[in-house]
Chains A and B, each alone.
Chain A
Amino acid sequence: MRSDEFKLVLPLTALFVAFFVAPLCVLLALSLSVDTDMRALTVSHYVKFFTDSFNYSILWSTIVLGVKATILCLVFGYPIAWICARARPRWQTVLLFLVILPIMTSVVVRTFSWIVILGRQGILNQIVLGLGLTSEPLRLLFTELGVVIVLAQVQMPLMVLPILTVMSKTDPNLADASRALGAGEWRTLWKVTLPLSLPGVIAGCILTYSASVTAFVTQTLIGGARLVYMPLHIYQQAVGANNWPFAAAISVIFMVAVLVIVYLLNLLTRITPSDAEV
């Protein structure tokens, strides 16, 4: 990096070192300390986390929650990107606008509207009961299924946008060639379009996953007080129980867990050949 380039990047680097890297280092140090004054070293908080099944079941259910929300996003997000990439420019803009709209609307507002929809007397239950599909109102609010549904809506744009980016850069002649050689549409999708768009799919999964596991508002409002995920656990230990060293240890474990999964997903990009073998 030349010196003039270095000068341009310096202010943001200074901010990040002082207010991003340093706090994370202090957090790590605190997680290894006996108390908030950081007098003596200990690994007891980590031992406590991993020897108590309550704690690691929270970690596990958070990871599972992220995986489920990501899969649901992929099932709907991939077709949206596929349709969008083929649409005329005008329709493409309209469709993209509708996809981006929810992520721009405050997450508290989006979650609040789902409470109106999913509640015992919510719209969904009025429809289901009205059609006579069940005799009992469905329990969706304060269930994992409810949290997954809402997370999928909230994070959908994060899945669609990277897939669309890769798809619109792909040469459309490749899919045409596949069809001209006699492969049907489904086979072309499976053998040509999907492998070529895989980097976008992986990028989308990484973004959706890391956003879903840390979605505090959605998890607490839709999940309620009984469904505890890692962000609420950290918040309760830090603010409710005022046990900062333990909250720091949970935070570190949570960050590492998220980064390991992001790293593993990222490895898939490297294994996938950029010029997919057709």
Chain B
Amino acid sequence: MPSPHASVDWESLSLRFAFGALTAVAVVFLVGPSLIVLLTSLTASQSLRFPPDGLSLRWYYALLTADQMQQAAWTSLVVAFWTTAVASILGTAAALAISRSQGAWARVFDLLFMSPLLLPALAFGFAALVFIYQLGLRPSIAFLILGHVVVCVPFVLRTTLAALTQLDPSLIDASASLGAGGAMTFRRVTLPLIGRGVGAGAFLAFMASFDNVPVSLFLADERTEVLPIHLWQQIETNLDVRTAAVSGVIVIVTLVLMLAAERFAGLTRQMR
């Protein structure tokens, strides 16, 4: 924006400089750690020193024989997949109902479904474990998935509701007046228009489930050990470079998935 005055506007410059500098520091602060872990994982030595002593992919090769880690990663993917599927379907249905109704009920439901985001997830994880035992049951992968759905549904709900508020209601009316039923209108009109919102929410839910520790800490057992818990224990006990290699894989996969989500669902626009 050009300054309205001909002379140098020091005040405007000082504000821009101060905020620009803070942003620059923050960006380094935000992106730096991921880059550093990526470079550290390429080390040729046994230590986690930075800069690495020589470059090699030996720790990535070591992952090929890390059975426990692979098993945990697979469990995490399965749990995240089912969590995303269930959360997307239930969350989209609930968002449709909430956006259509204007009454106090809509606000009650909205508050209820968003509350897992504010409540300490660890307390909920423990509550779920206590509940399962009180029912006389034992933790299983089904309960683990249900627990993840509860804490991941807010992401789907939020992006879908945002997409629905931008939906022109006259389009729905037009579809209905042309003789399309509710299901047909949803499939042919509503879903294509809110698809990107649902997609972005599903992506966020998947990442949140794959990354979840507080709920898995209580609901996962030896048979259903998930990757974040496995890594957390690895880092707590013996810090080895394989952990850095897994971290490197996760950083790269996350980046690729995010670029795809940006391309197909306009991720940054949906999150605003």
Report whether B126 and A27 are in contact in the complex, using a CB–CB cutoff of 8 Å.
yes
A188 to chain B, nearest CB (A): 9
Q: Does B64 contact A (CB under 8 A)?
A: no
Report whether B255 and A153 are in contact in the complex, using a CB–CB cutoff of 8 Å.
no
Given the interface pairs A19-B147, A217-B228, the reply to whether A189 lies near B258 with Cβ below 8 Å is: no
Report whether B34 and A113 are in contact in the complex, using a CB–CB cutoff of 8 Å.
yes
Q: Does B146 contact A (CB under 8 A)?
A: yes
From B9, B14, B150, name the one whose CB has the most chain A CB atoms within 10 angstroms.
B150
Which of A47-55, A75-83, A131-139 is found at the contact surface with chain B?
A75-83
B135 to chain A, nearest CB (A): 9
Which of B22-30, B55-63, B172-180, B191-199 is found at the contact surface with chain A?
B22-30
- The chain B residue sitting closest to A13, CB to CB, is B109
Interface size, chain A (Cβ < 8 Å): 97
B59 to chain A, nearest CB (A): 14
List of B residues within 8 angstroms of A184 by Cβ: 11-12
CA distance A207 to B16 in the complex (A): 27
Q: Does B18 contact A (CB under 8 A)?
A: yes
Report whether B37 and A112 are in contact in the complex, using a CB–CB cutoff of 8 Å.
yes
Main secondary structure, interface of B, reads helix
Report whether A9 and B128 are in contact in the complex, using a CB–CB cutoff of 8 Å.
no
Q: Bits for B213-250, please: 1 = Cβ < 8 Å to A, else 0.
A: 11001100000000110011001100100011011001
Which listed residue, A9, A22, A239, A255, touches B94 by the CB 8 Å rule?
Answer: A9
Report whether B113 and A102 are in contact in the complex, using a CB–CB cutoff of 8 Å.
no
Which listed residue, A24, A185, A216, touches B127 by the CB 8 Å rule?
Answer: A24
Report whether B214 and A153 are in contact in the complex, using a CB–CB cutoff of 8 Å.
no
Q: Bits for A5-33, please: 1 = Cβ < 8 Å to B, else 0.
A: 11111011101100111111011001000
List of B residues within 8 angstroms of A76 by Cβ: 22-23, 25-26, 29
CA distance A262 to B57 in the complex (A): 47
Q: Does A269 contact B (CB under 8 A)?
A: no
Q: Which residues of A are interface residues toward B (Cβ below 8 A)?
A: 1-2, 4-9, 11-13, 15-16, 19-24, 26-27, 30, 38, 75-77, 79-80, 82-83, 86, 92-93, 95-102, 104-117, 121-123, 126, 152-153, 156, 161, 164-165, 168, 179-180, 184-186, 189, 206-207, 210, 213-214, 216-217, 220-221, 230-231, 234-235, 238-239, 244, 247-248, 251-252, 254-255, 258-259, 262
Q: Can you give 6 A-B contacts (C-beta < 8 A)? A: A80-B26, A100-B258, A110-B34, A179-B4, A210-B117, A259-B118
Q: Which residues of B are interface residues toward A (Cβ below 8 A)?
A: 1, 4, 9, 11-12, 14-16, 18-20, 22-23, 25-27, 29-34, 36-37, 40, 48-50, 90-91, 93-94, 96-98, 100-101, 103, 105-106, 109, 112-113, 116-124, 126-131, 134, 146-147, 149-150, 153, 182, 207, 210-211, 213-214, 217-218, 227-228, 231-232, 235-236, 239, 243-244, 246-247, 250-251, 254-255, 257-258, 262, 267-269, 271-272
